[in-house]
Structure 1
């Protein structure tokens, strides 16, 4: 009888230990290789951040849209449609369009800011003569910042992303507000900061259901590693194909994001 009781007690102890281990010991990470991360970013500095983020997402099927006609510019109608139509489940948007997107679609939300000070004003000759600026269509925040910072500005010409550099080179405008990746294509031009203070250029918009997944948690981990690399000015200059000195007065900042806590 005592032997049977001892056996029962021993079994109970082992079962309790096994249950405790299952509940409290670290679990081996299980990758969901069937999950698909569908990312949208423009053909701009947010696209650079997206590409860096994707580098470490080897265990997922990843589709990215910045090289397609659907998302070359986050301010385009097709870029807004991409999130609403669930063509993407996470995207980098400028603040103005991000607000419009979440107002129109209750299934998505702004997860957090990702890039600060991502634009610069580019001009050819004398800054004191600059009055008319070209700006990419839909960049209302950029227009407001330029007007607040430089009272000399008299007006803006809204131009497509593809045509804005041509307008500047053809002297249709005195200067242009450019994403720094576009400004990097004309490094010999002079430039001025868009604002005297920090401002948010891009935020991350995410589908609420996708936000709950392990795939999104791993996306955030990879994103934060990308931020760490791009925050190194030498690495960023190499990525953009410019000299490190060219970045000195740009003050661009890549921001980390908090994880989701999804198990």
Structure 2
């Protein structure tokens, strides 16, 4: 499993750095999970001027990894969807980027075994907001274990932990009870949109923003979402209803501060 995770990281790095220095399109990076559904819909269904083709959406195996930091700092990416912790860490190290705003809520879910209260829960390493919600919900006696995102399902299936925090698409493949991360019904921001300041001042940015807003409105319609998830992930209408029941939805980002 560790070898598989390493290969995934190397593959992502190859994709991220194989592009030429000069690029005519909008360079988008997105995780290959529920958030990635928005990125692919945006490129495939919206006629963006100078948009990079769908094959040039750079995959983020782990947005908290050094591979992602390298790609962003190397000025290879115009816009990326990152978890809140990764976004804040990036801005601390590189002031060429800004957070446009929240992009997706509640897509990281808890999967726990149905027998009793969990004593050990694994979460994605470096995503401290997940650890905080676990402790808030189950108390400090519940052990929180940081794990590489790619091996979380394996850790759970092997019985090493009582629960995991994973993306909804992975969570639906695991046996157990699916729960929202926040037990009190609070929306949890799971991804934010980060763009380079250079891109935010470019002529392409208003067109990108308009297409993004339209894409979000479309995907928040359960009929459209059902069709898209059938095309992309082969999910059934019943599974899409389960996603909607967990209040997982895309959020139109609002510009924070000056560009």
Which deviations, in whole Å up to 9, do the C-alpha atoms of 1:126-170 show, x marking residues without a partner? 2x2311111112111111112112227521222212211011111
The 3 A distance-change label for structure 1 pair 250 and 221 is: same
- Residue 203 (structure 1) aligned with residue 199 (structure 2): no
In structure 1, C-alpha distance between the alignment counterparts of 2:205 and 2:88, rounded to whole Å: 21
| Map of 1:257 onto structure 2 | 253
Once the 2 structures are TM-superposed, how far is the Cα of residue 237 of structure 1 from its aligned partner?
A: 4.2
In the alignment, structure 1 residue 45 sits paired with structure 2 residue 34 = yes
TM-score, length of structure 2 as denominator length:
0.79
Question: Given the alignment of the two structures, is residue 191 of structure 1 paired with residue 178 of structure 2, yes or no?
Answer: yes
Alignment of 1:1-16 (within 5 A): none
Counterpart secondary structure, 2:252: coil
Q: Any idea what SS the aligned residue of 1:109 has?
A: strand
Stretches of structure 2 lacking an aligned partner (at least 5 in a row): 1-22
Distance in 2 (CA, whole Å) between partners of 1:251 and 1:133 is 22
CA distance in 2, matches of 1:102, 1:85: 14
SS in 1 for 2:218: helix
| Alpha carbons of structure 1 residues 121 and 237: separation in structure 2 relative to 1, 3 Å | farther
Q: TM-score, normalising length from structure 1?
A: 0.77
Q: Which structure has the bigger radius of gyration?
A: 1
Q: Does the alignment pair 1:112 with 2:112?
A: no
CA RMSD in angstroms, aligned pairs only: 2.1
Q: Which runs of 4+ in 1 moved over 6 A?
A: none
Asked whether 1:164 is paired with 2:143, we answer no
What number of residue pairs does the alignment pair up?
221
Q: Is the 8 A contact 2:99 2:255 kept in 1?
A: no
Q: Is it true that 1:124 corresponds to 2:113 in the alignment?
A: yes
> Does the CA-based 8 Å contact 1:38-1:64 persist in structure 2?
yes
Partner of 2:126: 138
* SS, match of residue 229 in structure 1: helix
Residue 90 of structure 1: how far off its partner (Å): 0.9
Q: For 1:57-91, what per-residue CA distance to the aligned partner results, in whole angstroms no more than 9, with x for missing partners?
A: 4532413111xxxx212111111221111111111
Give unpaired runs (5+ residues) of structure 1. 1-33
CA distance in 1, matches of 2:109, 2:180: 5
